């Protein structure tokens, strides 16, 4: 049996739980927009592009010794650039949006591999592919935590301020346009928020598994509520409880935390699906009986 008193007194473990709390709130809110606007693929593209940024940061650090350009900052730069490219109306006129996303996705990954191979591993300590892609929440440093806190505040205040307009945008773009919203700019802003969220989450579950924390809680919540705000709250609670459960399971059974969190979320997603479909069928049957 794990001695939890001892485990929780370790600084890195505390960081891990703090990072998870912050990520849950941000994912609950932004993930809800991702799910209702059906831009899961956009998020996937942006998330994978960050790998290029991580590699780029290592490379810069090894060649130019710019130690302030951390992998997280590299990831932010690449993710935001990807968001701007995907939202660019000029590019969308020529190529379909999902094609652009596909290109960014693979180019980001390839650049990551290229830059990491060019990096002098004697100068810079490069994390393993495994921990970058599939996460190692034990590696969240206090400095990362500070950057995350700032990003979290920026993301949440922007959403609080633009909540109503984002609601119109994600519901009906034509209405958004004729009621004076700059739809192109607002879409790009939403993509940038998604990009920042992806960077946020990659610290916890790794690049490949970002989509899980971003979409699964909101997808679960949207089965049980028909109100955007309520879905956000439910999704946050869901993300918080399930990722904590995942972390506890990972420590208890010594399995990688990223995989453990994702699978915990997935199990609850399937459970909810089962409950919901059973409940809906019940509702149809009882309505038929009434009629």
Partner 1 sequence: MASSPPIEIDDLTAGYGSNIVLEGVSLRLEEKDFLAVIGPNGGGKTTLLKAILGIITPLKGDIRIFGETVGNGLRKIGYVPQRGNFDSSYPISVYDVVLMGTRVMKGYSPRYSAECHERTAEALEIVGIEDLAEYSLSKLSGGQMQRALLARAMAGRPDILLLDEPTASLDPHIKECIYDSLRRINKDLAIMIVTHDIGVVSTHVKRVACLNKNIIVHDEPLITPDMLEMGYHCNVELLAHGVPHRTYGEHDHD
The residues binding partner 1 (CB under 8 A) are 36, 160-165, 167-168, 170-172, 174-181, 222, 225-228, 231
Centre a 10 Å sphere on the Cβ of residue 1 and count the other Cβ atoms it contains: 4
Name the region of 121 (left: φ>0; alpha: ψ -120 to 50; beta: rest).
alpha
Rounded to a whole number of angstroms, the minimum distance from the CB of residue 157 to partner 1 is 10
Nearer to partner 1, 43 or 70 (CB): 43
Residue closer to partner 1 by CB (options 12, 178) is: 178
Closer to partner 1 by CB, 96 or 164: give it.
164
State the minimum distance, in angstroms, from the CB of residue 216 to partner 1: 17
DSSP letters, 19-55, are HHHHHHHHHHHHHHHHHHTT-HHHHHHHHHHHHHHHH
Tell me how far, at minimum, the Cβ of 203 lies from partner 1, in Å.
29
Nearer residue to partner 1 within complex by CB, 129 or 161: 161
- Minimum CB distance to partner 1, residue 42 (Å): 16
For CA atoms 65, 138, 42, 160, the dihedral sign is negative
Q: Are 198 and 148 in contact (CB under 8 A)?
A: no
């Amino acid at each position: 049996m794990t001695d939890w008193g001892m485990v929780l007194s370790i600084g890195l473990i505390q960081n891990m739980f703090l990072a998870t709390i912050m990520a849950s709130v941000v994912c609950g809110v932004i993930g809800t927009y991702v799910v209702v606007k059906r831009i899961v693929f956009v998020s996937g593209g942006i998330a994978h592009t960050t790998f290029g940024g991580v590699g780029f940061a290592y490379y810069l650090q090894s060649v130019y010794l710019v130690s302030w350009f951390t992998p997280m900052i590299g990831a932010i730069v690449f993710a935001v650039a990807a968001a701007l490219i995907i939202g660019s109306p000029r590019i969308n006129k020529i190529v379909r949006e999902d094609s652009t996303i596909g290109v960014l996705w693979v180019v980001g990954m390839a650049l990551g591999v290229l830059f990491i191979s060019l990096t002098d591993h004697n100068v810079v300590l490069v994390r393993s592919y495994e921990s970058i892609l599939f996460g190692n929440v034990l590696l969240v440093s206090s400095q990362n935590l500070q950057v995350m806190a700032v990003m979290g505040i920026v993301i949440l205040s922007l959403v609080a301020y633009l909540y109503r307009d984002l609601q119109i945008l994600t519901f009906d773009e034509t209405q958004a346009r004729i009621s004076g919203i700059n739809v192109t700019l607002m879409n790009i802003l939403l993509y940038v928020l998604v990009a920042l969220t992806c960077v946020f989450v990659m610290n916890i579950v790794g690049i490949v598994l970002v989509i899980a924390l971003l979409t699964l809680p909101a997808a679960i919540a949207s089965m049980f509520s028909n109100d955007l705000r309520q879905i956000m709250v439910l999704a946050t609670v869901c993300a918080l409880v399930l990722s904590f459960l995942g972390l506890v399971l990972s420590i208890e059974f010594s399995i990688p935390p990223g995989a453990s969190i994702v699978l915990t979320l997935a199990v609850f997603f399937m459970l909810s699906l089962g409950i919901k479909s059973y409940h809906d069928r019940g509702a149809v049957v009882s309505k038929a009986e009434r009629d």
